[in-house]
């Protein structure tokens, strides 16, 4: 049975973990996973390949013919585990990457997330960089959202501030984080803006809305989001105590960490304050 497949169970677990952390109020957030060929073969006998095609609104040619597991529009993450056939579903893209069809799930009139164009454009960018990328995750991470009201909406500022909050941050996301000013969610414009950030980063923050993470497996993608949000929580607490830090990690300290953990840090983020 499809729902018993390990990747489906990991998908549900990841969404449930995000809900438990308070990132998915009501129908907030969305998650998509690009299936491996072996996973497609394992479930194909249960898929309905006769449904009509629906335009995506964008073209993702390098994803033509791919299958995705996606959360549903208007559906609640809190029901991923107890109402999976309503809360999620599988889609197939046509060979041109311009349309999709529902092949499983989304019961009772459901359809893929309204952020599907953003998800697929982000998948397209990451696949072009490394075919091992398979997950795009959007969550309403409370503290990262809070920081978009008080920090300059600049990649360099957000990256540096988050890095300073925990030594593991430059190790977990050494490429930094991207920041996008407020835009209408679900729009083609924000899909393009996010996919442009994903050319350089695995994490993109939508001002006053939430965060997008890309990854190769469920654990590292969730861990990336969780690490950045934990750093943001620490920063929110620091700023609530004082607008100025009495001490913090300095640029050379970051270089030492990079040497120790064999990661490369962009000098853009190691400016003197």
Residues designated catalytic: 115
39 touches 2 (CB < 8 A): no
Q: How many CB atoms lie within 10 A of CB 61?
A: 11
Q: What is the distance between the alpha carbons of residues 236 and 258, in angstroms, rounded to a whole number?
A: 25
User: Could you give the C-alpha distances from 59 to 95, 125, 185, 194, 237, in angstroms and in order?
Assistant: 11, 12, 19, 15, 42
218 touches 11 (CB < 8 A): yes
Nearest by Cα to 268 from 174, 196, 194: 174
174 touches 264 (CB < 8 A): yes
The secondary structure element, H or E, covering residue 40 is: helix 37-43
139: which strand partners? Answer: 211
- 193: tokens are 């803006």
Nearest by Cα to 183 from 158, 206, 217: 206
Q: Considering only CA atoms, give the Rg of the chain.
A: 19
- The burial class, CB within 10 Å (0-12 / 13-18 / 19+), for 81 is middle
């Amino acid at each position: 049975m499809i729902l018993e497949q390990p990747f489906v169970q990991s998908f549900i677990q990841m969404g449930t973990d995000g809900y438990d952390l308070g990132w998915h109020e009501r129908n907030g957030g969305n998650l998509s996973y690009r299936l491996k060929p072996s996973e497609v073969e394992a479930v194909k006998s249960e898929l309905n390949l006769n449904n009509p095609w629906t335009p995506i609104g964008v073209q993702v040619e390098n994803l033509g013919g791919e299958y995705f597991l996606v959360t549903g529009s208007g559906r609640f993450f809190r029901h991923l585990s107890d109402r999976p056939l309503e809360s999620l579903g599988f889609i197939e893209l046509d060979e041109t990457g311009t349309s999709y069809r529902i092949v499983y799930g989304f019961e009772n009139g459901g359809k893929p997330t309204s952020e599907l164009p953003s998800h697929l454009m982000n998948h397209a960018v990451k696949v072009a960089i490394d075919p091992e990328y398979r997950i795009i995750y959007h969550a309403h991470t409370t503290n990262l959202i809070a920081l978009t009201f008080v920090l300059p909406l600049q990649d360099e500022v957000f990256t540096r501030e988050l890095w300073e909050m925990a030594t593991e941050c430059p190790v977990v996301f050494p490429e930094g984080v991207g920041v996008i000013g407020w835009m209408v969610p679900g729009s083609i414009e924000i899909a393009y803006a996010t996919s442009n950030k994903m050319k350089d980063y695995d994490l993109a923050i939508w001002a006053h809305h939430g965060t997008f993470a890309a990854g190769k497996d469920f654990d590292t993608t969730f861990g990336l989001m969780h690490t950045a949000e934990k750093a943001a929580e620490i920063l929110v607490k620091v700023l609530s105590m004082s607008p100025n830090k009495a001490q913090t990690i300095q640029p050379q300290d970051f270089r030492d960490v990079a040497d120790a953990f064999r990661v490369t840090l962009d000098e853009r983020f190691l400016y003197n304050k």
